């Protein structure tokens, strides 16, 4: 608040300060986004600001401090930013300000918003942050541009000239360097031996290096306590010290004996001897320390203010690293930090590499924008166009040797850095006095990085594309010039006396290990970033240890999480962030924490990503169109719950052409109730997140693999989306939906189902009940469109209009719901189709379909129905009768004339005999039982075996596929004998036979014997497997649900189409006989046993009961449980005959029975024509003609302006492909010639695909048009 008031006060005096000026530079990673609090807006909030003098009484503001009416040159809607009062001072607006302003003139500053069209146009012109060089040093960009535009020779000449000049400077300064080293403190001079300090200082001065105090600090030695100065190299960020230097000295008398005693009593370490030897090497070979000294000797040397630093070792793979803990002795707490060190080397490297590779890929124009807005641009040099091998990007890393130890500390600080450990010979603690920057000191980090950044700046001056991360210098180059770059870097390091680990350096290469990861630049179109295999394995082993122990210790958490976070950052996808979010609270435990199941699953997911995750990939090719997505949500008070709605708009621009797509929807009540039930009073955050999730999935085909800018107006959602997690469980659930499309596929429960289905879903999706409900709503939507457009011809619509005119509540949607209350959803779809076709045909003939007359009906029957399916004409007449009696359609009695009926009869005579799926052979059924019983030749998972058991159940229960799926409960009724005689009984809640209201309220008992055509009871084994793999056996759940990646099941069944493929694939893998199984389908399951029974000669009445066929007997036959008892016993007799070979149903008619006597006693019967089976194929229903007619209802029309606002009033429908696959014509509503619409998708197929139908009420009522949008979801 103070800073804002100061900025406003400065503005009054004419000093304009950018509100974002002091924000820290955002660490915008390559293909990763910075925290929202540190990311500057990519587009200013206001188009411009304007200041006017105005009478305070004339200010008319709303609750958001926006102008209600235009004011002078300021348009209405502009926001008041500040007021300069007459007597001085500024006032920040709050609300309307009506009563808080003094009278008289005030100076008011307003922010003027862009118009919506201006904002959209500006957003489409924005450069994506991942493609901008916002934080790359200008010197690196200049080097990149010079290399690509000028070619290799100018770079080589520049390097040679600089090195020659600097060598000359070094020669001139040799005597002065020697004199300088003589004046240094002995401990400092010993550490700096060989360093060209004066040369380094002169080069820095020639480069205008801002850190002018660096060289005096080097000469005097760096401080470990006190205050760091502002160098101008890093971003300012103050952090105060806890103790002053004097306070630390006063605390030394307590700290010193305590730490010494802790060292003396510490447990023996497994590498104590090795640690001691490395310490002696630092003294004898490198001269970094002196000693050892006893406690008394140190007292005599330094007095009462010296402090021991406990040394311990950490094994990093094969190397032991010595760590000196300066936090424990409070030295780190006595250092005040003034700057924050940015560590972006890997991101900068990837950023520049991606731009370099893109330029090489395009072989076009070089255009690089610098921080001041200037550009380095020009055509790509011919060398790089013609020499592809020489233009191959390559990388390497230059590593400084013992980087911290090359620089001295202030001699008076050596007393605060007495490296202490136990001497192995006698176990007594001793101390070594340190003279170099200790590894473990807070001050050392800042001091060393000051030097490291200067060295980077020198390398950049030499034309190297060098980056810096502590003591590592990753370098990017092209293959042709990489040899010269390597020699240049070694020359300058040796010239300055800086030691590098040349023995460990590897040459430039397209693939290299850099900063803990492996970078692969071998592909011209992408960069692969992956973890080093050994590092990933090490961290995975640590996770395995936690999982095996089932607990985590507090001291392990921070280190483990840091390593996990780094490893997971190089794996494709963001699910690891969510898993880490689940585990973050573990760091707050003070004692060992035993893992919960959710925590174990999170650790397992992270481990799997480490070992098997897909490497992060950065595409460098063209990224397609500029895409901007706007999402929003709203919550309004309701009678029983809040009314929550969401919407989104997508703009896509490519080569000057802009496409627009949008959606609007009401958040499902069940979801709102669930959020509210968990104590959420303010749902707007969840609603805004839901809008974002819905947009991501609805427009998946447009957003995948593209650069996209999402505009959100909720800061919490923005932060959660960037962080990929949230503390709130409900928010985290939505985050899973947002980010799980990047999950790397894990081991699946069913290889067969995955193969036939093309993959398994990653999220639960809508439940079966929701799908059926949405399917019905889709049918109602079609009827509503048809009836409303032709409302004068339907009595139900006329009644609604009459009620509306009389002032009574009128709702066509509800009226249709009431009219269709007793009708099945399939009936609604099948009846609306012929009527839609009729309307479409008449429209093409330029004739109004309504009102109907005999001439129109005959023309349709004669010219359309004769060319359609043989049964269509009869279906059309049935639809007219249905519509007349249910909806009051005006069908004149004379309209159904003899010639109209005659066409229907003539067409029906051409009806082909129904061709059903063939029944399974006995060998097929035996193969299914073998798979289930584990006696198969091929290898199948438990889920595959459950699938085989489901097909056995459908065979022996004589059930349609959909009836078998709809078993509300499954009970095992077995008599415990050697033969395991018994039954599996299920209560089916949905059945095609359930066509009446009475039957819809009753269960259909479906019974199957547990013994089939093998000697083992398939039913018992199957029931055990269902329980084992966690299939839910209760109402509302399918008996064979779709499994999800990572475990669990959707509350939805496998589609009939996929089930048919699954059946054939199981049999193919088991039998290898593709010819005998190619014609099989899900309806083959129901036909199999019924076919056997007919061939065996059982009476028609028995087979009708076993087949659940409707008959004149009424509902007691179909729905009476006890009615099945007798027929089941007869069926078991048939199955037993098949099992023992007495009956061979797959033989020819004369060979059915092994015994001639049995053949005479059993006369085969004709197979039943099941009344419950339609002529259509259950697996592949064809509704193409109906959908083409439905398209006609969404014809393109020109709409005048002002209608856009009415689009907020919409209904949101999901149409299930269980019964229909939607195809709508491309449609776009146009306002003043500009597209204000969407292009609809083509036919959507597959069980998990929905067509989202947006019906705009305002357009229906005003313009007689309905707009549909088919969106992949």
Would you state the pLDDT for residue 219? 95
**Tokens 């002196």 belong to residue:** 290
Mean pLDDT of 1161-1172: 52
CATH code, 721: 3.30.420.10
Dihedral (C-alpha) 1167, 1172, 1173, 1178: value to the nearest 10 degrees? -140
Would you state the pLDDT for residue 393? 94
Mean pLDDT of 830-858: 91
Answer whether residue 748 is part of any domain. Answer: no
764 — pLDDT class (breaks 50, 70, 90)? low
Specify whether 53 is located in the same domain as 168. no
Specify whether 629 is located in the same domain as 609. no
Mean pLDDT of 658-682: 86
Higher pLDDT, 736 or 139: 139
Would you state the pLDDT for residue 1223? 30
Would you state the pLDDT for residue 974? 77
Q: How far is CA 854 from the centre of its chain?
A: 58
Answer whether residue 1175 is part of any domain. Answer: no
Helix (H, G, I), strand (E, B) or coil at 1235: strand
Q: How far is CA 302 from the centre of its chain?
A: 60
Q: Supply the DSSP symbol for 66.
A: B
Would you state the pLDDT for residue 781? 85
Q: Which of 586, 617, 648 is the last residue of a domain?
A: 617
Stretch (H or E) spanning 170: helix 152-172
In the predicted structure, residue 711 carries a pLDDT above the cut 60: yes
Phi/psi of residue 187, each to 5°? -70, -35
pLDDT digits (tens, 9 = 90+) for 248-288: 999 998 999 999 999 998 888 788 889 999 999 999 999 99
CATH code, 1128: 1.10.443.10
pLDDT digits (tens, 9 = 90+) for 423-464: 998 889 999 999 999 988 999 999 999 999 999 999 999 999
| Strand order, beta sheet including 79-84 | 48-55, 105-112, 79-84, 90-91
Would you state the pLDDT for residue 744? 29
879 — pLDDT class (breaks 50, 70, 90)? very high
777 — pLDDT class (breaks 50, 70, 90)? confident
In the predicted structure, residue 1032 carries a pLDDT above the cut 90: no
Q: Where are the beta strands (DSSP E) in 976-1113?
A: 981-988, 1004-1009, 1041-1043, 1049-1053
Would you state the pLDDT for residue 581? 61
Q: What is the 3-state secondary structure (H, E, C) of 348-389?
A: HHHHHHHHHHHHHHHCCEEEEECCCCCEEEEECCHHHHHCCC
Mean pLDDT of 1084-1103: 89
Specify whether 536 is located in the same domain as 472. no
Specify whether 461 is located in the same domain as 344. yes
Please state which of the ranges 428-442, 623-637, 638-652, 1191-1205 shows the lowest mean pLDDT.
Answer: 1191-1205
Contact present, 698 and 1271 (Cβ < 8 Å) = yes
Would you state the pLDDT for residue 1101? 85
d(CA 1229, CA 386) in angstroms, rounded, equals: 50
Q: How far is CA 1221 from the centre of its chain?
A: 27
Would you state the pLDDT for residue 889? 93
Beta pairing class for 308-316 and 418-422: parallel
419 — pLDDT class (breaks 50, 70, 90)? very high
Answer whether residue 215 is part of any domain. Answer: yes
Specify whether 555 is located in the same domain as 426. no
Work out how many domains the chain is built from and give that number: 7
Contact present, 603 and 543 (Cβ < 8 Å) = yes
Left, alpha or beta for 492 (phi > 0: left; psi -120 to 50: alpha)? Answer: alpha
In the predicted structure, residue 1213 carries a pLDDT above the cut 60: no
Q: Which of 557, 589, 617 is the last residue of a domain?
A: 617
Specify whether 511 is located in the same domain as 534. no
Contact present, 960 and 950 (Cβ < 8 Å) = no
Specify whether 111 is located in the same domain as 230. no
Looking at the chain, how many residues does it have? Answer: 1273
Would you state the pLDDT for residue 976? 56
Q: What is the 3-state secondary structure (H, E, C) of 757-825?
A: HCCCCCCCCCCHHHHHHHHHHHHHHHHHHHHHHCHHHEHHHHHHHHHHHCCCCCCHHHHHHHHCCCCCH
Specify whether 605 is located in the same domain as 635. no
Answer whether residue 165 is part of any domain. Answer: yes
Would you state the pLDDT for residue 1153? 84
Q: Which of 712, 696, 621, 568 is nearest to 32 (CA)?
A: 568
Q: Supply the DSSP symbol for 415.
A: G
Higher pLDDT, 154 or 1026: 154
Specify whether 604 is located in the same domain as 677. no
Would you state the pLDDT for residue 1023? 85
Specify whether 926 is located in the same domain as 901. no
968 — pLDDT class (breaks 50, 70, 90)? low
Q: Supply the DSSP symbol for 99.
A: T
pLDDT digits (tens, 9 = 90+) for 175-184: 999 999 999 9
Answer whether residue 1015 is part of any domain. Answer: yes
Peptide bond preceding 1184 in cis form (omega within 30 of 0)? no
Q: What is the 3-state secondary structure (H, E, C) of 872-906?
A: HHHHHHHHHHHHHHHHCECCCHHHCCHHHHHHHHH
Would you state the pLDDT for residue 574? 58
In the predicted structure, residue 1248 carries a pLDDT above the cut 50: no
624 — pLDDT class (breaks 50, 70, 90)? low
What is Dmax (Cα atoms) for the chain?
127
Task: Record the tokens describing residue 621, joined without a space.
Answer: 């090719």
Would you state the pLDDT for residue 1218? 31
d(CA 185, CA 4) in angstroms, rounded, equals: 49
Q: Where are the beta strands (DSSP E) in 905-1040?
A: 967-975, 981-988, 1004-1009
Q: Supply the DSSP symbol for 1149.
A: G
Would you state the pLDDT for residue 1242? 30
Mean pLDDT of 673-699: 86
Please state which of the ranges 224-233, 1094-1103, 1172-1181 shows the lowest mean pLDDT.
Answer: 1172-1181
Determine what percent of the chain is predicted with pLDDT higher than 70.
75
Would you state the pLDDT for residue 31? 46
d(CA 975, CA 986) in angstroms, rounded, equals: 18
Helix 597-612 × helix 533-549 angle, to 10°: 160
Higher pLDDT, 258 or 539: 258
**Tokens 């799980």 belong to residue:** 740
Helix 825-844 × helix 768-789 angle, to 10°: 30
Higher pLDDT, 847 or 610: 847
In the predicted structure, residue 819 carries a pLDDT above the cut 70: yes
Give the mean pLDDT of the chain.
78
147 — pLDDT class (breaks 50, 70, 90)? very high
Q: Which of 512, 517, 440, 461 is nearest to 208 (CA)?
A: 461
Would you state the pLDDT for residue 292? 94
Domain region containing 67: 2-115
Higher pLDDT, 230 or 1219: 230
In the predicted structure, residue 1090 carries a pLDDT above the cut 80: yes
Whether the model clears a pTM of 0.75, i.e. scores above it, the answer is no
Would you state the pLDDT for residue 1246? 33
| Strand order, beta sheet including 418-422 | 289-293, 429-434, 418-422, 308-316, 319-324
Helices then strands, counting H and E runs in the chain, come out as: 46, 37
Q: Which of 573, 598, 617 is the last residue of a domain?
A: 617
Would you state the pLDDT for residue 152? 92
d(CA 1158, CA 1148) in angstroms, rounded, equals: 15
Specify whether 541 is located in the same domain as 597. yes
Answer whether residue 758 is part of any domain. Answer: no
Contact present, 147 and 478 (Cβ < 8 Å) = yes
pLDDT digits (tens, 9 = 90+) for 306-340: 999 999 888 776 788 888 889 999 999 999 999 99
Contact present, 237 and 340 (Cβ < 8 Å) = yes
Q: Which of 361, 362, 366, 368 is nearest to 380 (CA)?
A: 366
Answer whether residue 1012 is part of any domain. Answer: yes
Cβ partners under 8 Å of residue 678, min gap 6: 729, 730
Answer whether residue 661 is part of any domain. Answer: yes
Would you state the pLDDT for residue 1176? 45
d(CA 302, CA 306) in angstroms, rounded, equals: 6
Q: How far is CA 663 from the centre of its chain?
A: 20
Specify whether 73 is located in the same domain as 161. no
Beta pairing class for 626-636 and 708-711: parallel
Cβ partners under 8 Å of residue 978, min gap 6: none
In the predicted structure, residue 993 carries a pLDDT above the cut 70: no
Q: CB burial class (10 A; 0-12, 13-18, 19+) of residue 508?
A: buried
């Amino acid at each position: 608040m103070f800073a804002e008031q100061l900025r406003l006060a400065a503005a009054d005096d004419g000093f304009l300060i950018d509100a974002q000026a002091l924000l820290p530079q955002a660490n915008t990673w390559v293909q990763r986004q910075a925290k929202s609090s540190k990311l500057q807006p990519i587009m200013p909030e206001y188009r411009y600001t304007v200041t006017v003098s105005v009478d305070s009484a004339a200010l008319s503001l709303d609750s958001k401090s926006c102008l209600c009416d235009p004011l002078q040159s300021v348009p209405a809607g502009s926001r008041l930013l500040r007021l300069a009062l007459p007597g001085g001072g500024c006032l920040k607006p709050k609300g309307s300000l009506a009563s808080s302003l003094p009278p008289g003139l005030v100076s008011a500053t307003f922010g003027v918003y862009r118009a919506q069209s201006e904002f959209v146009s500006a957003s489409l012109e924005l450069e994506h942050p991942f493609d901008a060089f916002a934080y790359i040093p200008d010197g690196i960009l200049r080097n990149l541009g010079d290399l690509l535009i000028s070619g290799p020779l100018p770079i080589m000449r520049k390097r040679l000239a600089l090195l020659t000049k600097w060598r000359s400077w070094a020669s001139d300064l040799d005597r002065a360097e020697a004199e300088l080293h003589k004046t240094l403190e002995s401990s400092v001079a010993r550490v700096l031996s060989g360093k060209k300090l004066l040369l380094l200082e002169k080069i820095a001065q020639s480069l205008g290096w801002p850190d002018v105090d660096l060289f005096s600090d080097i000469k005097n030695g760096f401080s470990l306590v006190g205050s760091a100065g502002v160098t101008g190299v890093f971003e300012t960020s103050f952090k105060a010290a806890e103790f002053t230097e004097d306070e630390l000295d006063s605390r030394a008398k307590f700290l010193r004996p305590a730490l010494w005693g802790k060292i003396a009593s510490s447990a023996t370490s497994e590498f104590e001897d090795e640690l001691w030897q490395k310490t002696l090497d630092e003294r004898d070979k490198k001269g970094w320390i002196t000693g050892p000294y006893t406690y008394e000797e140190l007292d005599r040397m330094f007095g009462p203010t010296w402090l021991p630093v406990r040394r311990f070792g950490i094994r990093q793979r094969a190397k032991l690293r010595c760590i000196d803990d300066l936090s424990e002795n409070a030295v780190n707490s006595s250092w005040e930090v003034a700057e924050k060190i940015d560590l972006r080397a890997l991101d900068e490297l990837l950023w520049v590499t991606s731009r370099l590779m893109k330029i090489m890929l395009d072989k076009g124009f070089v255009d690089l924008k610098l921080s001041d807005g200037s550009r380095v641009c020009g055509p790509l040099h011919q060398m790089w166009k013609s020499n592809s091998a020489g233009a191959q990007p390559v990388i390497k890393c230059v590593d400084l040797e013992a980087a911290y130890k090359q620089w001295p500390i202030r001699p008076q600080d050596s007393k605060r850095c007495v490296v202490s450990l136990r001497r192995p010979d006698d176990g007594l603690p001793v101390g070594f006095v340190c003279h170099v920057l200790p590894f473990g000191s807070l001050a050392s980090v800042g001091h060393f990085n000051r030097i490291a950044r200067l060295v980077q700046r020198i390398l950049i001056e030499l034309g190297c594309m060098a980056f810096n991360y502590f003591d590592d210098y990753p370098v990017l180059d092209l293959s042709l010039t990489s040899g010269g770059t390597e020699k240049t870097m070694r020359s300058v390091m040796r010239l300055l006396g800086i030691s590098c680990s040349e023995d460990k350096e590897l040459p430039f290469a397209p693939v290299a290990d850099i900063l803990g990861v492996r970078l692969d630049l071998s592909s011209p179109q992408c960069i692969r970033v992956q973890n080093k295999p050994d590092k990933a394995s090490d961290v995975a082993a640590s996770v395995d240890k936690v999982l095996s122990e089932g607990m985590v210790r507090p001291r392990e958490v921070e280190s483990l999480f840091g390593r996990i976070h780094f490893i997971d950052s190089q794996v494709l996808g963001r699910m690891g962030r969510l898993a880490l979010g689940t585990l973050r609270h573990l760091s707050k435990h003070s004692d060992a924490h035993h893992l919960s199941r959710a925590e174990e699953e999170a650790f397992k997911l992270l481990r799997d990503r480490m070992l098997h995750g897909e490497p992060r990939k950065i595409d460098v090719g063209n990224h397609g169109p500029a895409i901007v997505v706007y999402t929003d949500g709203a919550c309004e008070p309701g009678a029983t719950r809040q009314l929550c709605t969401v919407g989104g708009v997508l703009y896509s621009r490519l080569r000057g052409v802009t496409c627009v797509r949008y959606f609007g929807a009401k958040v499902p009540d069940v979801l709102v109730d669930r959020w509210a039930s968990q104590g959420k009073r303010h749902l707007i955050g969840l609603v805004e997140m839901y809008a974002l999730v819905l947009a991501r999935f609805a427009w998946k085909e447009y957003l995948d693999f593209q650069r996209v800018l999402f505009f959100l107006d909720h800061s919490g959602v923005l932060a959660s989306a960037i962080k990929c997690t949230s503390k709130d469980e409900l928010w985290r659930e939505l985050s899973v939906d947002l980010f799980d499309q990047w999950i790397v596929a894990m081991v699946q429960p069913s290889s067969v189902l995955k193969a036939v289905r093309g993959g398994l879903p990653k999220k639960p999706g809508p439940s079966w009940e929701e799908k059926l409900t949405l399917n019905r709503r889709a049918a109602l939507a079609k009827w509503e469109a048809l009836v409303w457009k032709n409302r004068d011809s339907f009595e139900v619509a006329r009644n609604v209009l009459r009620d509306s005119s009389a002032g009574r509540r009128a709702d066509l949607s509800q009226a249709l719901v009431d009219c269709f209350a007793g009708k099945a959803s399939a009936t609604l779809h099948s009846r609306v189709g012929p009527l839609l076709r009729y309307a479409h045909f008449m429209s093409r003939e330029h004739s109004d379909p309504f009102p109907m007359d005999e001439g129109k009906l005959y023309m349709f029957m004669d010219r359309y129905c004769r060319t359609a399916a043989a049964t269509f004409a009869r279906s059309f007449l049935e639809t007219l009768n249905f519509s007349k009696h249910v909806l009051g359609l005006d069908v004149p009695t004379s309209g159904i004339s003899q010639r109209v009926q005659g066409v229907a009869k003539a067409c029906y005579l051409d009806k082909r005999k129904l061709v059903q799926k063939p029944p399974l052979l006995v060998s097929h059924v035996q193969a299914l039982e073998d798979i289930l019983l584990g006696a198969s030749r091929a290898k199948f998972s438990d889920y595959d075996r459950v699938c085989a058991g489901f097909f056995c159940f459908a065979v022996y229960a004589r059930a349609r596929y959909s009836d078998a799926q709809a078993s509300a409960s499954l009970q095992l009724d077995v008599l415990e004998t050697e033969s395991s005689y018994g039954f599996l009984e299920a209560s089916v809640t949905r059945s095609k036979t359930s066509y009446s209201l009475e039957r819809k309220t009753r269960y259909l008992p479906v019974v199957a014997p547990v013994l089939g055509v093998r000697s083992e009871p398939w039913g018992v084994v199957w029931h055990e497997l269902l329980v084992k793999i966690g299939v839910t056996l209760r109402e509302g759940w399918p008996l064979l649900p779709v499994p999800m990646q990572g475990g669990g099941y959707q509350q939805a069944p496998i589609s009939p189409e996929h089930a048919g493929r699954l059946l054939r694939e199981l049999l193919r893998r088991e039998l290898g006989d593709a010819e005998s199984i190619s014609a099989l389908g899900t309806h083959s399951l129901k036909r199999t046993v019924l076919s056997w029974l007919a061939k065996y000669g059982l009476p028609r009445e028995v087979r009708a009961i076993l087949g659940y066929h409707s008959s004149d007997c009424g509902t007691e036959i179909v729905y009476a449980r006890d009615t099945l008892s007798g027929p089941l016993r007869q069926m078991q007799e048939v199955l037993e005959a098949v099992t023992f070979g007495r009956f061979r149903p797959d033989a020819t008619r004369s060979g059915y029975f092994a015994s001639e006597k049995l053949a005479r006693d059993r006369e085969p019967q004709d197979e039943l024509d099941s009344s419950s089976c339609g002529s259509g194929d259950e697996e592949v229903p064809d509704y193409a003609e109906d959908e083409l007619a439905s398209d006609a209802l969404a014809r393109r029309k020109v709409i005048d302006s002002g209608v856009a606002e009415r689009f907020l009033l919409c209904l949101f429908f999901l149409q299930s492909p269980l019964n229909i696959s939607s195809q709508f014509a491309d449609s776009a509503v146009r306002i003043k010639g500009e597209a204000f619409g969407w292009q609809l998708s083509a036919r959507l197929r597959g069980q998990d695909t929905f067509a989202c139908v947006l019906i705009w009420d305002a357009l229906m009522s005003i313009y007689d048009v309905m707009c549909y949008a088919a969106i992949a979801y």
